[in-house]
Amino acid sequence: MKGLADRHRLSPLALAGLSVAALVMVAPLLWTVALSLKSNAELMRDSGTAFFAPYTLENYRAILQGSQVFGWLLNSLIVSLGTTLGVLALCSLAGYGFARLEFPGRRALFVFVLLGLAVPEQAVILPRHQLFADFGLHNSYPGLILPGLAAPFGVFFMAQYFRGIPRELDEAALLDGASRWTLFWKVLLPLTWPAQATLGVFTFLASWNDYWWPLISATRSDRFTLTVGLASSQMNYAQTSGLGYLMAQAVFAALPILIVYALFQKQIVGAMAGAAAAR
């Protein structure tokens, strides 16, 4: 059983390689944190000083004093959570429908949905902006959430996951007299928790980090998401005069997500066990 034990341990060589790779991965992040802890005036002269003390929290203090930052944070949370919940609901339903139900045109419709994966956002953003203007949806939460809900990847992902669940389960449930709906809701959906977790995390991330749509849809500062709000704080030449502040903003914007990831990392990685899309 040596081979088996082997596969569960990192060899010293692999460990060394991974450590180097991890260093490359983390160095830019540490650099960012270091810059965020320096005074702007000092960085304007030489960003190399970030390697050395003195460090300061003045940039973080400035962010927290910015009256609107918490409002933006709240907007981002609402939009990202709303998008995530919506995507999970819609894609679970549709994924189940495509994976398990027989109906005319199923294959063609599925391909039609997959086409969406190839649509560049720039190809739809302007007509969509006009559409939302016609419905008065700009500067509103629905206006920010809705575009994220047309997520072909989510449907594909959930469909593949449902396909991986043995059909015997369905047959047994249907024999017991369960309706299609009960089967979906009570039997199959609970089994997809790993896929939900994965899709949820990626949807949340994509929504949290979205930039162009909120930039042109939420034009009022009380409706900004965090990404757009922080961008609005950058002056035209802020990179020179407020580098430390800018970097502190970067850290601040990433922090909530890092915390979420740290809390859920077991579920996310572990859960993906079954979630492999392509089963």
Q: Which residues within the stretch 147-166 sit at the binding site for another protein (CB under 8 A)?
A: 147, 149-150, 152-153, 155
Can you tell me the distance from the alpha carbon of 99 to that of 111, in angstroms, rounded to the nearest whole number? 13
Tokens 């449907």 sit at which residue? 155
9 interacts with another protein by CB under 8 A: yes
187 vs 167, 176, 178, CA distance in Å? 12, 12, 10
- Which is closer to another protein, CB of 56 or CB of 66? 66
CB of 102 to another protein, least distance (A): 6
CB of 127 to another protein, least distance (A): 4
CB of 76 to another protein, least distance (A): 10
CB of 172 to another protein, least distance (A): 19
Can you tell me the distance from the alpha carbon of 177 to that of 197, in angstroms, rounded to the nearest whole number? 30
| Residue whose C-alpha is closest to residue 63's, from 260, 267, 248, 271 | 248
35 interacts with another protein by CB under 8 A: yes
Q: Which of residues 198-217 bind another protein (CB under 8 A)?
A: 198, 202, 205, 208-209, 211-212, 215-217
User: Running DSSP on this structure, what letter comes out for residue 184?
Assistant: I
Site map for another protein, 51-90, x if CB under 8 A?
x----------xx-xxxx--x--xx-xx--xx--x----x
- Which is closer to another protein, CB of 173 or CB of 208? 208
- Residue 55, classed as helix, strand or coil, is coil
Q: Which of residues 230-249 bind another protein (CB under 8 A)?
A: 230-241, 243, 246-247
- Which is closer to another protein, CB of 127 or CB of 175? 127
Residue 187, amino acid: V
Which of 37, 38, 98, 244 is the binder for another protein (CB under 8 A)? 98
Can you tell me the distance from the alpha carbon of 201 to that of 138, in angstroms, rounded to the nearest whole number? 26
| Residue whose C-alpha is closest to residue 69's, from 256, 244, 211, 212 | 256
Can you tell me the distance from the alpha carbon of 250 to that of 63, in angstroms, rounded to the nearest whole number? 11
Size of the site for another protein (CB under 8 A): 141
- Which is closer to another protein, CB of 172 or CB of 251? 251
Which of 15, 16, 57, 172 is the binder for another protein (CB under 8 A)? 15
Which of 38, 40, 113, 183 is the binder for another protein (CB under 8 A)? 113
191 interacts with another protein by CB under 8 A: no
CB of 217 to another protein, least distance (A): 7
